[in-house]
């Protein structure tokens, strides 16, 4: 008979550990004891500073006050990612959190936009997107409306180290026990192989029924102890190194992340209220550390605040993220480069998945199998979305971009590209966090031009369709008059920092 889960041990702190602790305590309250083991002597990577909109739901469920959260984490608003030089040098496009236009009848807006272009319309798809219009003007404000045409989805930029501290304070106040110490030895049951106890260097022993591995890329429990294999995706995403450096706050706080492609790498710029986050991601097969360092340093908007930090990584996923009585959350579960700001969301979705499948009366292999199947598909769909940016390019300035264009890609991604190219159709996978509007913007932005569109779009005459499109355009522009410059919004909403 399986042992009921009455105590959860979280190994490791940081963003992953404290997000897990905070949500578990909020959901389970006093039904399960929660203890987190971490050491101040072990640093965290802590460069993940950009998020996607579901982080709002996570914070809201925890009862977090948004103003306090933004103040404590030095946060700003994020409406989109601007991709610069990805298709060809000198060209850019946005992947926004909004959706262009509005669905008309039975089919998606892009079909009517394509039909309108044939009828003489000149507007880009993005001009029908409120998030894009706001980004281009550097504006933001809260829009209280039930009308989806005015909906402006947003996420945050924040200091992930400060976010971890913020959640720690929240979790400890709710009753999570924190134990200081470095794990020296891990005890397993002789028969089941389940982990039963963590022995710390300071002599303390921590026992539990369910263990959460938040030890980052060390994978101390799931990998080193249980021996779960790691599936390497280097053949699909060859980047294996990042260099990160904080810089002084830029004078104007943009409401979006910048992703800037270079000859053999890409660079991020993330605006916070007290500094900017910067970094470069590259493959050591195509670019040396010195070349990457120089590319980053020579393309900063403001003065560095510390020495650059080099981070080695292996793109891929832990094959069984739930094995025996251990669940890997955060970097111990896998790594995908931060091109689409998915790292923190993968933490969030893993915790939510665990809550839906929490093993109250004992751990079952069937429950673990379902958890692993969902997680696998989620990782793979994000992976494919990232590959899309690299694979569909027209750059000729380096072997890196040529090789990415010529490489074999997963069949599922190729099918998506083919469907969109032939008829502007977009098909969703279950557990894909990116919906139609995201795939639409990146495929168009990377230069995939549909050859046809849905027949429903043909039911309008030219004049009638152009009139409808003009009305949609006008509606999308209406809220702009009520928006504020991003810095002015932050000053009014959370006060000067």
Q: What count of other Cβ atoms lies within 10 Å of the Cβ of residue 475? A: 16
Q: What count of other Cβ atoms lies within 10 Å of the Cβ of residue 464? A: 11
Q: Which of 273, 320, 285 is nearest to 487 (CA)?
A: 273
Let me know if 78 is a catalytic residue. yes
Q: How far apart are CA 458 and CA 465, in angstroms?
A: 9
Q: Which of 33, 24, 42, 17 is nearest to 214 (CA)?
A: 17
Q: Which residue of the set 3, 26, 67, 78 is catalytic?
A: 78
CB 50 within 8 A of CB 86: no
Query: What three-state secondary structure class fits 496?
Result: coil
The tokens describing 139, both together, are: 């504006």
DSSP string, 39-97: -TTS-------B--TTHHHHHHHTT--HHHHHHHHT-EEE-EEEEESSSSTT-EEEEES
The helix (run of H) or strand (run of E) holding residue 358 is none
CA angle 311, 312, 315 (to 5 degrees): 120
Who's near 103: CB < 8 A, 6+ residues apart? 109
The catalytic site residues sit at 78
């Amino acid at each position: 008979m399986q042992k009921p889960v009455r105590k959860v041990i979280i190994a490791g702190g940081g963003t992953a550990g404290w997000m897990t602790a905070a949500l578990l305590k909020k959901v389970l309250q006093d039904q399960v004891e929660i203890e987190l083991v971490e050491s101040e002597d072990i640093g965290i990577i802590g460069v993940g500073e950009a998020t996607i909109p579901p982080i709002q739901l996570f914070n809201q469920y925890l009862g977090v006050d948004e103003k306090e959260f933004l103040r404590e984490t030095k946060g700003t608003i994020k409406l989109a990612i601007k991709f610069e030089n990805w298709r060809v040098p000198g060209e850019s496009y946005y992947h926004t959190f909004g959706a262009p236009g509005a669905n008309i009848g039975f089919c998606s807006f892009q079909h009517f936009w394509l039909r309108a272009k044939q009828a003489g319309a000149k507007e880009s798809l993005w001009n029908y997107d409120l998030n894009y219009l706001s980004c281009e003007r550097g504006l933001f404000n809260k829009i209280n409306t039930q009308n989806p045409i005015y909906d402006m989805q947003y996420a945050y930029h924040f200091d992930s180290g400060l976010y971890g501290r913020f959640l720690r304070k929240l979790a400890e106040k709710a009753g999570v026990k924190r134990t200081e110490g470095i794990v020296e030895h891990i005890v397993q049951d002789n028969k089941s192989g389940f982990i039963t106890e963590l022995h710390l260097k300071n002599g303390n022993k921590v026992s539990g029924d369910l263990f959460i591995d938040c030890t980052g890329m060390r994978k101390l429990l799931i990998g080193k102890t249980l021996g779960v294999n790691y599936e390497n995706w280097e053949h699909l995403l060859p980047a294996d190194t990042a260099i990160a450096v904080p810089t002084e706050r830029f004078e104007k706080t943009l409401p979006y992340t910048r992703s800037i492609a270079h000859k053999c790498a890409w660079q991020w710029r993330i605006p916070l209220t007290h500094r900017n986050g910067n970094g470069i991601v590259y493959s050591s097969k195509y670019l040396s550390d010195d070349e990457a360092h120089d590319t980053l340093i020579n393309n900063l908007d403001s003065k560095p605040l510390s020495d650059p930090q080099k981070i080695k990584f292996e793109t891929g996923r832990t094959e069984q993220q739930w094995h025996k009585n251990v669940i890997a959350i955060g970097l111990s579960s896998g790594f995908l480069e931060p091109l689409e700001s998915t790292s923190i969301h993968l933490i969030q979705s893993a915790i939510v998945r665990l809550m839906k499948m929490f093993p109250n009366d004992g751990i079952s292999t069937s429950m673990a199998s379902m958890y692993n199947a969902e997680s696998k598909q989620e990782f793979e769909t994000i992976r494919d979305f990232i590959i899309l940016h690299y694979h569909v390019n027209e750059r000729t300035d380096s072997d890196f971009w040529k090789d990415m264009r010529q490489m074999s890609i997963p069949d599922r991604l190729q099918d998506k590209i083919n469907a969109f190219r032939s008829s502007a159709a977009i098909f969703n996978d279950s557990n894909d966090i990116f919906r139609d509007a995201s795939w639409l913007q990146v495929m168009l932005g990377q230069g995939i031009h549909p050859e046809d569109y849905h027949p429903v779009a043909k039911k309008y005459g030219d004049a009638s369709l152009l009139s409808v499109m003009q009305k949609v355009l006008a509606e999308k522009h209406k809220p702009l008059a009520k928006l504020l410059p991003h810095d002015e919004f932050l000053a009014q909403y959370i006060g000067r920092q």
